[in-house]
A = this chain, B = another copy of it.
Amino acid sequence: MKSFSSADSDLLEEIILHRRDVRGNRFLDKAIPQKVLDKILYAGVNAPSVGFSQPWEFVLIRDTDRKQAIKASFTVENRKEAAVFNLQRQESYKKLKLEGIHEAPVNIAVFYKPCEHPVLGQSSMKEVGRYSVVCAVQNMWLMARALNIGLGWVSILDPQKVKQILNAPQENQLVAYLCLGYVDYFYQNPELEQLNWEQRKDFRDLVKEECY
């Protein structure tokens, strides 16, 4: 049985701590070799999935016109989102660069594809199928960082619009839209923490013993 050392778990911690959500102003105009991209996708398909259902599909997007169509959805949703904040926050919000659709050489749309037969473990909590897909995304995110590649998750999109643009089957659900590329640097801390948009929560406040 494979046994890992404390140096191994410390290295994993380093990768976890250095992972960042990367936006467009950091991406370099440098292609990701197919072999490197495959290593990231391989990390994804080896994520856990409920009942070993592997309910994920990945669409790789590089075409400028297609990116432009996705970006148009971002622009509409971004305008709507700005309006949910108070006036002071709206000013800060408008200064943020929140996606890297064009700047990243590769975008990956990650879909949940529901299984046609009943899935073991998915009767009581239907959402665990989509959660399996999120586990795949997190594996990809960590692997990208270990390969010194930046990844940004863009959630300011209309999932129905993205489905139309990619001609996705009716039953598929968009879980994540990712932008990947080499970067000039990774921020030391999460950008929204540095900007004081949100404060880091105290570890001890988040962990309860036995019950609330």
Please give the residue numbers on chain A whose beta carbons come within 8 Å of chain B beta carbons, in ascending order: 1-4, 8-9, 11-19, 21, 39, 41-43, 45-48, 50-54, 56-63, 66, 77, 80-81, 84-85, 93, 96, 98, 118, 120-125, 127-128, 130-131, 134-135, 137-139, 141-143, 145-148, 153, 155-159, 165-169, 174-176, 185-186, 190, 192-193, 197-198, 200-201, 203, 206-212
Number of copies: 2
Which residues of B are found within 8 Å of A93, using beta-carbon distances?
120
The answer to whether B169 touches A124, judged by C-beta atoms less than 8 angstroms apart, is no
Considering only CB atoms, which chain B residue lies closest to A184 in the complex? B1
A138 cross-chain contacts in B, Cβ below 8 A: 47-48, 134-135, 138-139
Task: State whether A9 and B146 are in contact (beta carbons under 8 Å apart), knowing that A14-B2, A53-B198 are contacts in the complex.
Answer: yes
Residue on B with the closest CB to A146? B9
Which residues does chain B contribute within 8 Å of A8, judged by CB atoms?
11, 15, 146
Main secondary structure of the interface of A (DSSP, over half): mixed
Question: A128 to B175, alpha carbons, bound, how many Å?
Answer: 8
- Please state if B15 and A201 are interface contacts (CB–CB under 8 Å): no
Contacts of A16 in B (CB 8 A): 43, 46-47, 139, 143
Contact partner of A208 among B48, B59, B128, CB < 8 A? B59
* Beta-carbon contact of A125 and B155 below 8 Å: yes
Known: A81-B123, A124-B80. A13 touches B1 (CB 8 A): no
